[in-house]
Amino acid sequence: MSLSKDLPEVVSAPTHEDFCSYLPWACLQFGVPAVVAINKTIEGSLSKPHPESGKIIKGRKISSSFHLPLVDEKQSTADPKNPKIYITAVFNNANKLIKLIFENKNETIPREVMKVINLFIHKQIDLRRLGIKSGVDKFIIHEISEILKVSHLTEICLDNSFVKEGNYAVLLDTDSLRYLSLSKCKINDKVIEEMCKNLEYPKPASKSLVALVLSTNMITDDGAKFLGEALRSNRKLAYLNLADNRITDEGASYILDTLVEFRLRTEELVASKGRKFAYLKERNTVSLEKVNQKENKKSTKSKLSTSSVSSKKGKLKDTLKSRENSKASVILVADETEHEARTIDEDFHDPFHCPNIYMKEGTAYCKGNNSLLYLNVAYNNLTYVSLKKILEVILYQKTSDIGRGLVDVKLDGNYLPEWEEMQELDELLCQKRSSEESIKASSRRRSKTSKHRRDTE
């Protein structure tokens, strides 16, 4: 008689690799009061003819949904204590999770769900983007900031996610975030002020964040002033979207003034010198450790060599040889130190350090910010004054040796009729974009050529 029929069926727990099953199961184990419903989507190049044109189009393939209810679904619909959480998990063609999106059906997202995700998200090494369309509060913002510290996420999209406390600045406490979108979040100048503190050099986000979307908010000239202050030292942000706000010519000037040469303040120079001193101190410590390691190794070899010599004459010769080697090592160290001194300025990177600064009539000036490439100020309250200012910035960046600079500026929806300067601006930007494309194409050709040479060798 077989005993297998009498034994209860054992269901093994899912692994973290099966995200769509693992998250609901993990929430169940931790007693999260919610119903987690995950929809799995495969994002790839599906070939499908268009019904009218017959052209091949790309799309997404929805394969299946995974759902492990923690409570009865009918009960959860009526009971606000047990909300249903709708999540879309986007995978690539290799079945690796790349995006996680909380849908706009979610009225509230329990904080516990984010805490559970935080426990194993570091194992999802291909997950780069997190999007939440609704159900966000200050606690969810805090949990996202904690997730950023342990995960591989680089993109956060919280469009249309208004948080009364506006604690979005905590998302910029990390050096891993590259893209942040906060469109339609009712962000005001006070929130921008806190965010900009984390965008100033040398804060972590000033070295990582490349794109910031703040469109359709409540930002005025005061908020634009805070952004301008951050752009004085920030040399990483390349894309800034301020469309559909309340910025006038005065606010735009705060930002545009940082893109041309500007006078340095005393506190900025002092802070830069302090950073250089700290850098030199750390570098000297590392150099001394390397020298001590070399000397210890040579001393050990010298002792071994001396012990192996039996005669006095041999000992004397070995001692003289050891002294000669010691002198040679001192000369070598001196040469290395001199070389390090020559290259110290090249290795030390700081927005207010050579070659970015220069003296003019006894006053220190900094070259304009050339890292900001795309600026969207459409649908604000700008006039001809801002148009002329933008044109001056483009001409300055073109004639100076700062390199790169603005390649695209959006001005739609402002008080700007067809001015001659508008046409001139379009032509200059078109030239810069063409130059950028040619440089990229040339770089790709050189890369392919070098790769071909390595392969043939």
Report the alpha-carbon distance of residue 204 to residue 137 in Å, rounded: 24
pLDDT of residue 4: 41
* Buried-state track 143-171, b at ≥16 Cβ within 10 A, e below 16: bbbebbeebebbbbbbbbbebeebbbbbb
pLDDT of residue 364: 94
Report the alpha-carbon distance of residue 15 to residue 25 in Å, rounded: 10
- Of 306, 341, 366, the residue that ends a domain is 366
pLDDT of residue 153: 97
pLDDT of residue 276: 87
Number of domains within the chain: 3
Give me 91's structure tokens.
């995978």
pLDDT of residue 224: 98
- 27 and 148 in a single domain? The answer is yes
Q: 128: closest CA among 98, 149, 157?
A: 98
Helix H or strand E segment including 80 = none
Give me 413's structure tokens.
């929806």
Report the alpha-carbon distance of residue 182 to residue 170 in Å, rounded: 13
- 103 and 216 in a single domain? The answer is no
Domain-located, residue 109: yes
- 186 and 59 in a single domain? The answer is no
Domain-located, residue 288: yes
Domain-located, residue 357: yes
Domain-located, residue 184: yes
Would you state the torsion angle of the CA atoms of residues 417, 420, 421, 426, taken in this order, to the nearest 10 degrees? 90
Report the SS3 class of residue 134. Answer: coil
Domain-located, residue 99: yes
- 93 and 172 in a single domain? The answer is no
Q: What is the DSSP string of 39-76?
A: EEEEES---EE-TTT--EE--EEEEEEEEE-SS-HHHH
Return per-residue pLDDT of the chain as tens, 457 residues: 443 444 344 356 888 889 999 999 999 999 998 989 999 999 864 444 444 444 433 444 444 444 443 333 443 343 556 789 999 999 999 999 999 999 998 999 999 999 999 999 999 999 999 999 999 999 999 999 999 999 999 999 999 999 999 999 999 999 999 999 999 999 999 999 999 999 999 999 999 999 999 999 999 999 999 999 999 999 999 999 999 999 999 999 999 999 999 999 999 999 999 998 888 888 777 666 665 666 666 566 555 555 554 444 454 455 555 555 555 554 454 455 555 555 555 578 899 988 889 899 889 999 999 999 999 999 999 999 999 999 999 999 988 877 789 999 999 999 888 888 898 999 988 988 887 676 666 666 556 555 545 555 5
CA distances from 171 to 146, 217, 233, 346, 431 (A): 9, 18, 20, 32, 37
- Of 136, 153, 170, the residue that ends a domain is 153
- 271 and 126 in a single domain? The answer is no
Contact 259/365 with Cβ under 8 angstroms? no
- 17 and 133 in a single domain? The answer is yes
Report the alpha-carbon distance of residue 217 to residue 161 in Å, rounded: 11
- 189 and 136 in a single domain? The answer is no
Contact 213/374 with Cβ under 8 angstroms? no
pLDDT of residue 285: 74
Domain-located, residue 33: yes
At residue 450, what is the residue type? S
- 246 and 378 in a single domain? The answer is yes
pLDDT of residue 65: 41
Rounded to 5 degrees, φ, ψ at 53 are: -80, -25
Domain-located, residue 268: yes
Domain-located, residue 223: yes
Which CATH number goes with the domain that contains 413?
A: 3.80.10.10
pTM for the model: 0.80
Contacts 24+ apart (CB under 8 A), 64-69: 64/40, 65/37, 65/38, 65/39, 65/40, 66/20, 66/21, 66/24, 66/37, 66/38, 66/39, 66/40, 67/24, 67/35, 67/36, 67/37, 67/38, 68/21, 68/24, 68/25, 68/27, 68/28, 68/36, 69/35
- 268 and 239 in a single domain? The answer is no
- 113 and 20 in a single domain? The answer is yes
Report the alpha-carbon distance of residue 114 to residue 88 in Å, rounded: 15
- 250 and 380 in a single domain? The answer is yes
Give me 1's structure tokens.
């008689």
Domain encompassing residue 442: 160-261+368-452
Beta-bridge partner residues of 87: 38, 102
- 93 and 133 in a single domain? The answer is yes
